[in-house]
Amino acid sequence: MDDLREVIAGAIAESDRNKESGVRMADLWGNESYRRTVTKHADAALAAIKQAGFVVVPAEPTEAMISAGLPIADLDSGHPEDIYRAMIEASNAPT
């Protein structure tokens, strides 16, 4: 999975437009100061997602996620919630 922080920062930059000059802020992506600014915005978005009780995981489970869930699923007493939590933990969801 792409570094989610970079994906979010890039989306912020792409959507940011200086209406007066017509310069797309994505064109400033190489500017270190601007890049730090949009990365801080991405960090804030990820923190808000986490604080709201959500995590962002890949659309398809990774091998690590499957490996984490299988031993619990194989137990007779494996509850879906436990399998889910093990897979989420193994997903490397941003924290």
pLDDT value, residue 3: 82
Report the b/e string of 24-53 with b at 16+ CB within 10 A. ebbebeeeeebbebbbeebeebbeebeeee
Q: Look at the block and give the residue holding tokens 């940011």.
A: 16
Residue 24, helix vs strand vs coil = strand
In this prediction, residues 56-65 reach a mean pLDDT of 88
Predicted local distance difference test score (pLDDT) of residue 1? 37
Tell me how far apart the alpha carbons of residues 14 and 39 are, in angstroms, rounded to a whole number: 13
Q: Does the pLDDT at position 12 exceed 90? A: no
> Band of the pLDDT at 28, cuts 50, 70, 90?
confident
Measured in whole angstroms, how far is the alpha carbon of residue 78 from the centre of its chain? 28
Confidence (pLDDT) at 20: 57
Residue 30 has pLDDT above 80, yes or no: no
Residue in the structure block whose two tokens are 């890039």: 10
Instruction: Please provide residue 4's backbone torsions phi and psi, each rounded to the nearest 5 degrees.
Output: -60, -35
* Residue 37 pLDDT greater than 90, yes or no: no
